[in-house]
Structure 1
Amino acid sequence: MIKQDITVGILFFFVVRIEGNKEKDKGSCGQVNITKAAEDIASVRGEQIIKVSFTEADGRSSWEPTTVTVGKMQFEKECKHTKKFNYTTCHDLYWWYMPCGLATPFNLTLNTTVFYKNERHLNVTLDLNNAAYNFWNPDDVKNDTYMQNETQSTSCNFTVEIQFQGQFYYEVKSARGDSPNKESLYVLNLARRESRLFRHGPTGLSYNISGYLKHEVVCPRQNHTKGKTLSKKKAEKEPFKKMKKRNAV
């Protein structure tokens, strides 16, 4: 019996059929690295960075380490197939693609739900930190099975707001101008519109991880000309159309 809470892993060695997502293709984001953003601030204020940290500040009593809040995954619509499938022979596959991702030194896990086997809403746990995608293959579908069968997919865009509060600390070997060699700054100083890092409250920072969920259902290949399912013997002889291979984003 499948557990109600599932931890979703990263996709490895699985050739994916993907037709793309029109909404996603309207713009390209890339991944934002919040540590790199802090290093950029430090490099403006001094030379030869010794340390940049969101959790340690060289014993400073006034230090406010950064805390992170991961919001809920918000979908623009319900990711649900309108067709009912025969799950004695069909299988679900799920991809969460994040072209607008985020790399941090923090834990960015969240719980969300997926529509599973026609009717069940199943809880899954995703790790969004430094991830281009997450993947869940509940029935352990093999690559050969995936490529030799038919798939039907639905997709919908999502966003997850990440909020930061507190300070980051930097230390440089040689300071520029009146800047100190060591300093703690509120994360607000990392706000950059071009990086989609925005001010949140008086001293905080926010970033929206955005992407899309693709839910595929893999079912036995059918003979669409005659409208009948191929027999096992005939299916074994049927030459499968070569599918274009693309790496996951």
Structure 2
Amino acid sequence: MKTMILMALLALMFLIIASEGKTVPQPTTITWSPEIPSRLTRMVNLTNEAENFIKTIVRGRGKLTTLNFKGGFRPLKERSVDAVVNPLIYGDTCDYTADIKKPNCKDIYTWDINEGIVSPLSLPVNVTVRRRRQNWNVTLDLNGASSITWSLRKENPTKMKLPETSLKQKCNFTAETSFEGYIAYRLKERRGDTPEYDAFDIVQLADQSKGLEKRKNTLLYNVTGTFRHYRMCKDRKVIKPTKN
């Protein structure tokens, strides 16, 4: 009896202790690939956009060898590109419902990207998820991601095999990403007075048809998608065979 009481107290302590200071599992990210494009994800490639822009302004007066969002030689000491992600904004259907006290359940959270962006820069953003009346802080990297999954289980949550699944939450989300700074590049086989090294402001990549917008000295792009919170439960009841 004492052992059972002790175990119950430990379980209660686990429920009320905040996630701060705990080791939180990393999210599992499915990365977008140009070789295997997703039908669900529309991805803007900033590197390709920069290459095409340079080729347009050079107009055959040189061949592009390198371009750098960070580092690289910058003739006028132009600043490198910095990226920031604003907090995710969820739709109004994501209100939390009362937790159901059902044992043997695992919570799984997914962010499926509909409109994403890929670049040489990481795009981390902190999100808060709720499990068993407790908030957990998780860091997602939106760069190049087509789908992100997180669970407290250490193993890959996409490989879980639990029979009963219920959808607790589903809503759209959006996250504004912003880029500021200059992209440096180098040319070879130059003609005339075309410089070997140069740089341009990233806001020049603005293209509303692709979702790239300019706001003063900042290039903006809205990452959008669908958030889902699943609860997967396993019934441990064992039905014993009847004796004849």
Q: Give the TM bin, normalised by the shorter chain.
A: 0.7 to 0.9
Alpha-carbon spacing, 1:208–1:9, altered in 2? closer, same or farther (3 Å): same
For residues 66-102 of structure 1, the C-alpha deviation after alignment (integer angstroms, 9 at most, x for no partner) is: 1122211111226245353224222211111112111
Which residue number in structure 2 is paired with residue 8 of structure 1?
A: 26
Among 166, 178, 195, which residue is 1:151 paired with?
166
2:230 is matched with 216
Q: Tell me by how many angstroms 1:144 deviates.
A: 5.5
Structure 1 match to 2:239:
233
Relative distance call for 1:178 and 1:204 in structure 2 (3 A) is: farther
Cα distance between partner residues in 2 of 1:108 and 1:154: 25
Return the alpha-carbon distance in structure 1 between the equivalents of residues 179 and 69 of structure 2.
10
Contact 2:113–2:225 (CA<8 Å) still a contact in 1?
A: yes
Give the match's secondary structure for 1:39: helix
Q: Tell me the equivalent position of 2:147.
A: 133
Aligned pair 1:182/2:197, yes or no? yes
Could you tell me which runs of 5 or more consecutive residues in structure 1 were left unpaired when the two chains were aligned: 13-26, 222-229, 235-249
Match of 1:98 in 2: 113
* Structure 2 CA distance for partners of 1:43 and 1:163, relative to 1, 3 Å: same
Q: 2:93·2:170 contact (CA, 8 Å) conserved in 1? A: no
1:34 aligns with 2:46: yes
Aligned residue in 2 for 1:169:
184
- Computing the radius of gyration from Cα coordinates, the structure with the larger value is 2
Given that residues 8 and 134 in structure 1 are in contact (C-alpha distance below 8 angstroms), is that contact kept between their aligned partners in structure 2?
A: no
- Asked if structure 2 preserves the Cα contact closer than 8 Å seen for 1:42 and 1:171, the reply is no
Aligned partners of 1:76 and 1:158 also within 8 Å: yes
Distance in 2 (CA, whole Å) between partners of 1:97 and 1:63 is 36
Q: Distance in 2 between matches of 1:56 and 1:96?
A: 32
Counterpart residue type for residue 41 of structure 1: F
Shift of 1:174: 4.3
Change (3 A) 1:70 1:7: farther
| Residue 19 (structure 1) aligns with | none
- CA 1:137/1:7 → structure 2, altered by over 3 Å: closer, same or farther? closer
The 8 Å contact of residues 80 and 115 in structure 1, kept in 2 or not, is answered as no
Instruction: Kindly provide the CA deviation profile for residues 85-143 of structure 1, in whole angstroms up to 9, marking residues without a partner as x.
Output: 224222211111112111111121111111212x2222111111111111112135684
Measured after TM superposition, the shift of residue 192 of structure 1 is: 0.9
Q: TM-score, normalised by structure 2?
A: 0.74
Which residue of 56, 70, 88 maps to 1:55?
A: 70
SS in 2 for 1:106: coil
SS in 1 for 2:145: coil
TM-score (norm 1): 0.72
Percent sequence identity over matched residues?
Answer: 25
The separation in 1 between residues aligned to 2:189 and 2:197, in whole angstroms, is 10
Counterpart in the other structure of 1:64: 79
Contact 1:191–1:198 (8 Å) recurs in 2: yes
1:160 to 1:11, Cα distance in 2 relative to 1, 3 A: closer
Offset at 1:57? Answer: 3.6
AA paired with 1:85? I
Q: Is 2:175 the counterpart of 1:160? A: yes
Aligned CA-pair RMSD: 2.9
Q: Determine the C-alpha separation between the residues in 1 that align with 2:166 and 2:93.
A: 19
